[in-house]
Structure 1
């Protein structure tokens, strides 16, 4: 499970404004092997965390490359996953690797193969000199991908903008922060990381509980927080991505260490898009 909040503004009012502000949590079993965010690929042009789980190696949950392509994925809450289906993390990595396919065409191709994967929601984007584009597709929703209009969005483990209480709470706080023009870049990052660290339970939530009826009630309750914290499973990475009006990218990730919810390491990367 994961959660993503983002503000998409392809034509910001000034060069100091942001074309994208994104804040996301990755939730996973603590023991699942993975690599913290870093540049990878032959020319170090792709930045993401990587899954190291046997059979799922090389997949990712959120990443960006220097050509201006970005992708993020969340799982869809449903019954236990089918272990024989393809790894969903490859949908992010494959998009970041492909220099030629645009975001909508990629999702169109993915939509034709949706049954090969357990339930997912996938966001793809391109931040280019002439035009910024963001698209969305979920294989448990509409059969066609959609282009996203400028605005503020929330995505958890149901279809985009499904009003779970955790999503509404987090989106409310996210909106207040991104609309605060007084914040510096560093201040904005810190405020967004604070939102991602909110462990308050949002229960009862009949909408989330109905979708998660295949899971024990205690598990669904634990998953009702923006920042999930339970004995063996929870939020392992908190990521903030900013893209400003001059194509400068700030990528900040706070990663759990040693399966210990009290130990975190923060890494930050800055670069300019090659567009």
Structure 2
């Protein structure tokens, strides 16, 4: 039950993003690295109508040539798609995904496990042609048969990081979900300064929004409410990076979880709404799987990227071992487009705990085209 918190309220940063990836700890996952994908141009078509977007229509794609796109992310090594939950490109395409907690296993329109990877939704935007706008990507995902169809429940925050033309803002980010029937239902966030947003494993809702049909009675999950309050407090003190990074990682460690760590996942699921950080939990079988993995010894971490073994070559696989917060990520983007991307690994590939800070990897780069002022804002 992942959580992503995003804010435009820090005075020195255009955007601050923090994220916990909650997953089976033994699920094979690379460390963050730069990788290259070939982006094909999207066929020309009519612009999305201004009525379907709260901030008007973007320009049509004007490039007909494929191009290489450089992406920074970790990658899931369990599925052949090599998807991810979070990443950013040198050109400023940014995306972070959370799963949607399906509670109705008989709902064939929204399967718990889809035939296509959720992580592929992230890489669809990270690998998009640089000429494709966020608005066009939203329409492509929701209007085309091959967009979000066949994917398990998810919500995807995505957008192109650019300074806005007016005031001190950035171009808005979209939240795509396969709970959206069309592009007009897509929320847009981060287009105004001073805001804090939270997304977990239910439909995105602003404070005061009523729950959707079939959802829980509370409009906002406790972990989201707590996370937004804490993030507001951290950025309001306006610390510099040296103090900001530790404060943000401390926030991601906020825990409100029962002391019993031997619960089966079915027992754990109702508790995941409360705690930003999820400790390693699991029943007897998963505890035993964890011990078997640890008996293989300590590793230097999961593979860094590049040529990686096929999923069947990994001794540890999907839904084995304990479940909990596996990775933590903090992304800072300043007003010149300089990015600081830090991922913290909490476990090695065999399920041995890594001391806080010893599993950190940091990347710094400048977004190409960040100063190409966006024409639109919400």
Question: Which range, TM-score by smaller chain?
Answer: 0.7 to 0.9
Pair 1:270-2:359 in alignment: no
Q: CA deviation at 1:222?
A: 4.5
Q: CA deviation at 1:125?
A: 1.5
Structural mapping, 1:245-256, within 5 Å: 245-256=335-346
Pair 1:160-2:233 in alignment: no
Question: In the alignment, which residue of structure 2 is the partner of 1:208?
Answer: none
Whole-angstrom CA distance in 1 between matches of 2:142 and 2:268:
33
* Alignment size in residue pairs: 256
Pick from 158, 161, 172: which aligns with 1:133? 172
Whole-angstrom CA distance in 1 between matches of 2:235 and 2:163:
23
Pick from 104, 120, 130: which aligns with 2:135? 104
Deviations, residues 16-43 of structure 1 (Å, cap 9, x unaligned): x111011111111112111111111167
Pair 1:68-2:162 in alignment: no
Contact 1:39 1:48 in 2 (8 A): yes
Secondary structure of the structure 2 residue equivalent to 1:218: helix
Unpaired segments ≥5 residues, structure 2:
38-67, 106-110, 166-170, 206-218, 259-264, 283-321, 370-378
Q: CA deviation at 1:133?
A: 2.7
Q: Return closer, same or farther for 1:52/1:130 CA change in 2, 3 Å cut-off.
A: same
Q: Which structure shows the higher strand fraction?
A: 1
Structural mapping, 1:134-149, within 5 Å: 134-141=173-180, 143-144=182-183, 145-148=186-189, 149=191
Deviations, residues 44-96 of structure 1 (Å, cap 9, x unaligned): 831111011133x3201000111011001100011465445210101111211
Whole-angstrom CA distance in 2 between matches of 1:95 and 1:158:
21
Displacement over 6 Å in runs of 4+: none
Pick from 170, 174, 181: which aligns with 2:227? 170
Whole-angstrom CA distance in 2 between matches of 1:222 and 1:261:
21
Alpha-carbon RMSD: 2.3
Pick from 40, 43, 59: which aligns with 2:83? 59
Contact 1:201 1:224 in 2 (8 A): yes
Structural mapping, 1:1-275, within 5 Å: 1-8=1-8, 17-41=12-36, 45-55=70-80, 57-79=81-103, 82-98=112-128, 99-112=130-143, 113-129=147-163, 132-141=171-180, 143-144=182-183, 145-148=186-189, 149-150=191-192, 151-161=195-205, 162-181=219-238, 183-201=239-257, 216-222=266-272, 224-229=274-279, 230-231=281-282, 232-258=322-348, 259-263=351-355, 265-275=359-369
Whole-angstrom CA distance in 1 between matches of 2:203 and 2:255:
22
What's the TM-score once normalised by structure 1's chain length? 0.85
What's the TM-score once normalised by structure 2's chain length? 0.63
Q: CA deviation at 1:256?
A: 2.2
Secondary structure of the structure 2 residue equivalent to 1:6: strand
Q: Which has the larger radius of gyration?
A: 2
